[in-house]
């Protein structure tokens, strides 16, 4: 997806654009043309405003492959890796870097875009942050820097499994809103530490729950969500990310944030929410550091 926000100096969103012109559908040679076409009305009204690009547009498959800044990293390190290029219309675009944690095994972990949200949340005080999504991130902020993080492929796994054989009876079932009781049932299955089973064995319970008459077809997807999200929290607990009573800040859209709030409570965490405009505020914070350096 192509997403662009027009914001004022305080970060208030004045306008937004969202189209299907993402990196999977636009060739590298076409990114600048798509950008120019989409923001032409903004250019006409406001002139050559500065542009900041974060996320997958700076990936290997994007417009310009940006480096990964190593953790621990603060605003200054992120700003120091920004790269600006001049556009054909005389304007400029600044590409923000990603972040890598080389302590993760067997290979270094990476993020693109979430580091901007963390910067927008603020790197003071120390805290633990969860950013739910296709590839959920758990991150630790300490001493004014992002010190470590870990990726969990929760959203992608859920998306694939919700269309698989294991949840076939649920396909085509309309849901006005989540069935939170089914979700909680899935969380319980993942949270039950008396059972040594892991994700691969628990997943089949989505189907066996239906076969046993314990799950209605319309409940299977929410139960699956509970199992997968709950497994993320169980793995995070096993990896030492949190203990009972710890606080966690959740940054994400309202729907996913509520899913993770409920999961956090089920695992004994004290959840809070980050700002909805964290990504915008992060871009502004990095831009301010760039302007200060200039």
| Residue 183 pLDDT > 70 | yes
Name the range with the highest mean pLDDT among 16-25, 122-131, 172-181. 122-131
Task: Write down the pLDDT at residue 225.
Answer: 97
**pLDDT tier at 10, thresholds 50, 70, 90:** confident
CATH of 106-294, one of 1.10.3720.10, 3.30.420.310, 3.40.50.970, 1.25.40.10: 3.30.420.310
**pLDDT tier at 132, thresholds 50, 70, 90:** very high
**pLDDT tier at 134, thresholds 50, 70, 90:** very high
Q: If you average pLDDT over residues 183-197, what whole number do you get?
A: 88
| Phi and psi, residue 6, nearest 5° | -100, 120
The 10 Å CB-count burial string (b at 16+, else e) for 132-151 is bbebbbbbbbeeebbbbbbb
**Cβ atoms 189, 234 nearer than 8 A:** no
Tokens for 195, please give them.
């059972």
Domain boundaries, the chain: 106-294
Task: Write down the pLDDT at residue 292.
Answer: 63
The DSSP-derived string for 27-59 is -GGGHHHHHHHHTHHHHHHH-S--EEE-SGGGS
Task: Tell the residue number behind the tokens 């209605």, with chain if given.
Answer: 216
DSSP classification of residue 251:
-
**pLDDT tier at 196, thresholds 50, 70, 90:** confident
Task: Write down the pLDDT at residue 259.
Answer: 98
| Residue 276 pLDDT > 60 | yes
- Rounded CA-CA distance 172/250 in Å is 30
């Amino acid at each position: 997806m192509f997403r662009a926000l027009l914001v004022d100096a305080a970060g208030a969103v004045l306008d937004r654009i969202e189209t299907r012109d993402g990196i999977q559908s636009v060739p590298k040679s076409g990114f600048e043309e798509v950008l120019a076409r989409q923001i032409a009305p903004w250019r006409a009204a406001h002139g050559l405003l500065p542009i900041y690009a974060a996320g997958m547009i700076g990936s290997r498959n994007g417009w310009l492959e940006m480096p990964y800044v190593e953790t621990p990293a603060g605003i200054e390190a992120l700003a120091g890796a920004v790269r600006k290029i001049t556009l054909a219309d005389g304007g400029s675009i600044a590409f923000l870097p990603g972040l890598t944690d080389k302590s993760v095994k067997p290979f270094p972990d990476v993020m693109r875009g979430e580091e901007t949200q963390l910067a927008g949340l603020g790197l003071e005080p120390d805290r633990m942050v969860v950013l739910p999504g296709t590839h959920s991130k758990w991150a630790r902020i300490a001493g004014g820097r992002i010190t470590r993080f870990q990726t969990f492929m929760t959203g992608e796994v859920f998306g694939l499994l919700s269309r698989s054989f294991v949840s076939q009876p649920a396909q085509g079932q309309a849901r006005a809103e989540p069935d939170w009781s089914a979700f909680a049932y899935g969380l319980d299955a993942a949270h039950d530490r008396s059972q040594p089973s892991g994700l691969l064995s628990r997943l089949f319970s989505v189907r066996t729950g239906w076969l046993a008459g314990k799950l209605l077809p319309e409940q299977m997807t929410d139960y699956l969500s509970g199992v997968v999200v709950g497994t993320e929290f169980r793995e995070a607990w096993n990896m030492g990310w949190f203990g009972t009573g710890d606080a966690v800040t959740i940054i994400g859209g309202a729907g996913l944030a509520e899913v993770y709030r409920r999961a956090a409570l089920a695992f004994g965490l004290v959840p809070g929410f980050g700002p909805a405009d964290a990504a915008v505020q992060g871009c502004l914070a990095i831009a301010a550091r760039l302007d200060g350096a200039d």
